[in-house]
Amino acid sequence: MPRGTSEVVPVTDRLPEVLLGASPEVAAVLVERTVGPILSQPPHLAAVLLETLRALITHHGSPTHAAEQLFCHRNTVIYRMRQIEQLTGRSLQDPRDRLLLTLGEMAAPVLAT
């Protein structure tokens, strides 16, 4: 659930977040090994890369569709995608890596609370 929201939803709608919240130690390792290198960048760059990562996750790694969502050029998304992949050592085209990045991105706010 996005920060600052107080919407009540069934736990079954938020199973990944519940699992991550139930094991903070595992969530911390997951964040460190996935999105940690992004989070360690200067705040503005980290925010841009995380926003791009979320769009890529939403669109199953498609830079074209992510660019439409982000209102930027496809090449900009591809450049950011390469930055994300270089920083994390994970491929956004690989389903397992994309899953790990998704879970890491979800776990980061859970750990911050």
Give the up-direction half-sphere exposure of residue 16: CA atoms within 13 A in the CB hemisphere. Answer: 13
Residue 106: predicted pLDDT: 92
How is residue 92 written in tokens? 């956004």
Q: What residues does each domain of the chain span?
A: 23-109
Around Cβ 61, how many Cβ atoms within 10 Å? 17
pTM of the model: 0.86
Looking at residue 50, its pLDDT comes to: 97
Count of helices and strands (H, E) across the chain: 7, 0
Q: What integer pLDDT is reported at residue 14 of this predicted model?
A: 85
Range 23-109 has CATH code 3.40.140.10: no
The rounded average pLDDT for each run of 10 residues, N- to C-terminus, in the chain (113 residues) is 69 86 91 97 98 96 97 98 98 94 91 69
Q: How far is residue 4 CA from its own chain's centroid?
A: 18
